[in-house]
A = this chain, B = another copy of it.
Amino acid sequence: MLSKSQISLLKSLQHKKFRKVHGLFVAEGYKSVVEFINSGYFVEEVYHTIPIAPKLLNLSAKINIKEISLNDMAKVSSLTTPPDVIALIRIPQAPVFDAQLLKNQYAVALDGVQDPGNMGTIIRTADWFGMKHIICSDDCVDVYNPKVVQATMGSLSRVQVYYTDLAKTLPLLQLPVYGALLNGQNIYTTTFAPAGLILMGNEGNGIRPEIQRLISTAVTIPGGGETESLNVSIATAIFCSEVFRQRF
């Protein structure tokens, strides 16, 4: 049984404003919750509707676990189909960005990505390809948005996401910037350097002109069809895949 104030707190965390006020976010679903418990995140409380699975129990020595009604779960979940388990998790301090961290590796940079599903899927894809860092412009969607957390399927617990002024930060990295533009060179004949940045833009407007100036190589995914563009999470994945293919 959840109190009115607990329900109100959990629901409020669907909004960035209240996540900021409380320093908390919610992860929904068994897989996601387990990944956050296994990670360095501080899980304050776990709420579940079904008898807790052993895996969760083993890990939960120091975590408050509470059984709640299906009705309460439906109230606090952001999903159309409420999950069996949700966790209330402390938002860690924003990671300090250090240009040294990105030496000798690839990272993704995002300029104005707004859709939470896209952001979450990009984090999951970066994790798949072993990329540990994503650098976002300050106006990108918040990674603790419940739809982002959901779409990462736990990968958010392993990938560091930084919010920064890209115009100031990208030059500090001294890495080649491969920017996704419609009039760039063919990705399949582009030779990617051993380390670099994959730069993607906003869903509707692409990369802002002032950020485009920082691109060292403009790259395009050629296609044989009639549609004008690819979804940004799809384009990011094809870039990550091509970089990975060339390196391994």
Partner of A153, one of B227, B242, B244, B248: B227
Closest residue of B by beta carbon distance from A121 = B231
Task: With both chains docked as a complex, state the minimum distance between the C-beta of A130 and any C-beta of chain B, in angstroms.
Answer: 3
Given A242-B241, A248-B222, residue A227 in contact with residue B121 (CB < 8 A): no
Choose one: B153, B155, B237; the contact of A238 (CB below 8 Å).
B237
Docked-complex contact B244 and A241, CB < 8 angstroms: no
CA distance A154 to B226 in the complex (A): 10
| A224 interface residue per 8 A CB criterion | yes
Residues of A that sit less than 8 Å from B by CB: 117, 121, 124-131, 151, 153-155, 158, 188, 221-231, 233-234, 237-238, 241-242, 244-245, 248
Q: Is the CB of A225 within 8 A of B121?
A: no
A–B pairs, 13, beta carbons within 8 Å: A121-B233, A121-B234, A127-B225, A128-B225, A128-B227, A129-B225, A151-B231, A153-B228, A158-B225, A188-B244, A231-B233, A234-B237, A241-B242
Chain B residue nearest in CB terms to A248: B222
Does A231 lie within 8 Å of B158, measured CB to CB? no
Bound CA–CA A36/B244 (angstroms): 37
Report whether B127 and A231 are in contact in the complex, using a CB–CB cutoff of 8 Å. Answer: no
Q: Given A125-B231, A237-B238, are A158 and B244 also a contact pair (CB < 8 Å)?
A: no
* Residues from chain B with Cβ under 8 Å of A233 in the complex: 121, 231, 233-234
* Top 5 A-B pairs, shortest CB-CB distance: A130-B224, A128-B223, A130-B225, A127-B227, A127-B225
B125 touching A226, Cβ below 8 Å: no
Selected contact of A245 from candidates B127, B153, B188, B244, CB within 8 Å: B188
Taking a contact as CB atoms closer than 8 A, the residue among B224, B227, B237 that contacts A154 in the complex is B227
By the criterion CB–CB under 8 Å, are B130 and A230 in contact? no
Contact B234 A221 (CB under 8 A): no
Contact B223 A130 (CB under 8 A): yes
In the complex the two chains form, is A127's CB within 8 Å of B234's CB?
Answer: no
